[in-house]
Structure 1
Amino acid sequence: MSSTSLVTLVLLAGTVLAGVPARAEDSAKPLITVLNPAVTEKLAPRVPLAPRAGTLEGKTVYLVDMNYEGLGRTPVLEEMERWFGANMPGVKIIRRLKNGSYVSDDPALWKEIAASRAGGVILGVAG
């Protein structure tokens, strides 16, 4: 018997002798709920798209870097800011880095955007 097989056998025997529950129902620890990602026939409620802003001229557009993987910089948003400056100088561009990771919330930023009555928001997740 190889040493790897022997170590594996000893570890398995140790877990059995340690009294590891055989079924989840036997566990005293709290269990987690797992959602099944399989497609369901029941569709999510439909929400209509926001109406288009007729023009962005004279409006503010936020370019929000979602801070994907903590990079803190999305080059495509920098390029978009340059494009707006060259092609639509009447549009005020505000670039912001979202606090935390891309999956965390940033209520202060969303409040700032709502208070500014921005004409648009572009979220950048990578680049």
Structure 2
Amino acid sequence: MKTGTGCFLAGILCLLSFGAVAGQTADEAKITVLNPRGIQPPIRKIPMAARPATLDGKTVYIVDTKYPRTKEFVDELVKILKEKRPETNWVLKEKFGGYMDDDPKLWAEIKEKAQAAIVLIGH
């Protein structure tokens, strides 16, 4: 018991003496730390697209970004939308690459042929 207490007190003395030495060097040596992100530009707000008053007679593209293990969900979603809203033309398209990859041909097709789009991102 006495040995454990002695070791504990010796450890505290070592820590206190180290803190005193570290405190002295901290005052003597100062460094400047910069933010590695740099100066961030202001956030540009982009408003949401205007919504159509109705989807009746409209073409809506459903864009699948092929998030892993969501194919069954996407197929079921399209099936249900077609059953519940038969007056709307639902078009399922798979996007080239993943979510972060651009697909200019698909975006041009949507702008030309669709009145609305739903982009599925996985989460």
Q: TM-score, normalised by structure 1?
A: 0.58
CA distance in structure 1 between the aligned counterparts of 2:44 and 2:100, rounded to whole angstroms: 23
Q: Does 1:48 align with 2:47?
A: yes
Q: Could you give the per-residue CA deviations for residues 66-99 of structure 1, whole angstroms, max 9, x where no partner exists?
A: 1235x6x533322221122211101001101111
RMSD: 2.8
Identity of aligned residues (%): 31
Q: Are residues 48 and 66 of structure 1, via their aligned partners in 2, closer, same or farther at CA, if it must alter by over 3 Å?
A: same
Q: Are residues 47 and 99 of structure 1, via their aligned partners in 2, closer, same or farther at CA, if it must alter by over 3 Å?
A: closer
CA distance in structure 2 between the aligned counterparts of 1:45 and 1:100, rounded to whole angstroms: 26
Q: What is the correspondence of 1:1-127 to structure 2 with a 5 Å cutoff?
A: 36=37, 43-68=42-67, 74-116=71-113, 118-126=114-122
Which amino acid in 1 is paired with 2:95? Answer: K
Q: Could you give the per-residue CA deviations for residues 29-84 of structure 1, whole angstroms, max 9, x where no partner exists?
A: xxxxxx639xx7x7512232222210000000111111235x6x533322221122
Q: Which residues of structure 1 form unaligned runs of 5+? A: 1-34
The structure that is helix-richer by fraction is 2
CA distance in structure 1 between the aligned counterparts of 2:71 and 2:79, rounded to whole angstroms: 13
Which amino acid in 2 is paired with 1:45? Answer: R
CA distance in structure 2 between the aligned counterparts of 1:74 and 1:50, rounded to whole angstroms: 27
Q: Which residues of structure 2 form unaligned runs of 5+? A: 1-35
Which amino acid in 1 is paired with 2:122? Answer: A
For the pair shown, the structure with the greater C-alpha radius of gyration is 2
CA distance in structure 2 between the aligned counterparts of 1:79 and 1:97, rounded to whole angstroms: 15
Q: How many residues get paired?
A: 89
Secondary structure of residue in 1 paired with 2:56: coil
Q: TM-score, normalised by structure 2?
A: 0.59
CA distance in structure 2 between the aligned counterparts of 1:99 and 1:60, rounded to whole angstroms: 21
